[in-house]
Structure 1
């Protein structure tokens, strides 16, 4: 999940410290120009879901899936000769999953190649902040590789703060160039005489986002994000079956373009030093006919300076895409068709809690281990899909 963040007062104090003590300015500036480690994060999570509306088998059948995800990121920074702060972040993700529904692509096998897979997704980002001008510019590149999907992404961003540091305006442009391996269900491969000679097709995504963050007063902070996304290429999945009213079978067919507009509003309200309410609302609409609303609330309560708990709740609702219909409901005259319940009309809820530990002397006596956070959540849709996730985050500083 992507978030819009406000810079904290502590960040400014740390940067301003580089300008203190004029008598030792040269030595201080020399030390600041060295690249140094800010923090290292290790995140691991386990996800499991169950349901009975698999798109692989035409909108019926098991959706059982497990995913074990791991992420390692390292953040470094340095100051240049003009005392601008350069920040570098490298992230490496590795997901291993197994899917009972994907195994039905070729049910003749005991376990097809797509029944389990590994996804590797490294990324690298850079930004430079000019404290005097209140500007930040940045760039990023990323990649994601799995059995039937390859993605390459790159983007640029820019931000400008007000003189009092209470407001920030940002712009971000992002592009993803993807390639989908066209693995059809086994019976359609045989009928076409193609066997296992898979082709491939491109799928490109272009995003533009505008953000506005505002410190309203000492208790309230708000931010607005307006985004536009355009996709072009093969936007379905070739192994998603669709069964028609006459019992015939085809592969999912969707338009080759899609335009999306999400608008998000976030508000954080601080009640004293120990309690924070974080709220988020997002409106979404696309030209496939989906309209969606998301409402999210999280409360962070600090039990003492080193322990905090964060219960959270999210509600989501969406209308169905124009091209969705359940198993054996589509008619042969339709140009576009899918039985993927991710494109259906549904409501969902996600709720759980987190526990964060930040002892002054480190976790378990390890001084560099500055933070440990455990989060657990339960997800459920009104069409029967349910899931559980638990994650662990370790931060070293």
Structure 2
């Protein structure tokens, strides 16, 4: 399983620690403003394509063919950014989520690939390009103090910018802080000292981000689960969590395995694979609508809005609709991971939630514990940083966090252990 976060560079000298801490705090203000503008534009484009324009044309419900032209346009824009602009459109999502600073000259390609594909139907989240925007903006603003982009100081400032940008989209700056901390701890004890500027930048970014939202009134929402019923945990919930988490982790592993097999082809022929990915996504969305009668948008996009609807009314989808949704969105997610640009976490959380709702039909498996177990297992399978996965899902559950914490922890442990066992090379493979 690939890394989820590229480890920050070695920490700067201790004498410059205070200066870098102050610089990271100052950087959090403009970086969060840039991130807010990016997310506001992304939200506005998404709403126009999937809500406003169909409503003006009287297309209610949304027909199966509606995603086709938009996805093809998104594939062309993303393919152009990947094949022709510096930086190849940003980090490849099949490799995980990278906090490594992005050079400012790569920013146009990142923006074109993200704004071209994400609002037009790509099954990826905004977290990866958002981190790239934050890191590149931080390096651009602090070029006077960190002229060498390869220095430890520049690496810390860039990573702090990424943390500030992504602090709110996960629902809390705490997730961004734990995310960076766990990745840094995995790279060595010295790198942990570079986490403090990231925590400060994330906190400042969250404050500014919230203030901009209140001031402008723009609906830039974070990943959230409104409308959950009050949860009560029983022994049967914990018993079902173990096999459920293992099955979901195995399913997510197969999705990622398909993406990894397609990634080398996408590396050689980026435009052709980008168009292939959006074509497969369009077919999946159309098939889902024709098979279930439900809107194709449930298979498209990151799943952020659909997750809120699913958690508010899980009984609105039949078992057949859930199976079709998981299969179609899972396939679209796999090809998007290989050929397009965006974040891998949001769709994984949604797929895990859908699998949890489906498994809640098992006797003695409550709806909210099953939802929590599904999200935790899928997130841990895609983001192999178990503490970060557990914190993210726990904060998502809000008032139910305390009641479902044992289920979340058990699902994360099972999914992480299952992934390590499945990825362990066989003796015949390890011998050479």
- Tell me which structure has the larger Cα radius of gyration: 1
Greater share of helix residues, 1 or 2? 2
When normalised by structure 2's length, the TM-score is 0.23
TM-score by length of 1: 0.24
Structure scoring higher RCO (CA < 8 A, sep ≥ 6) equals 2
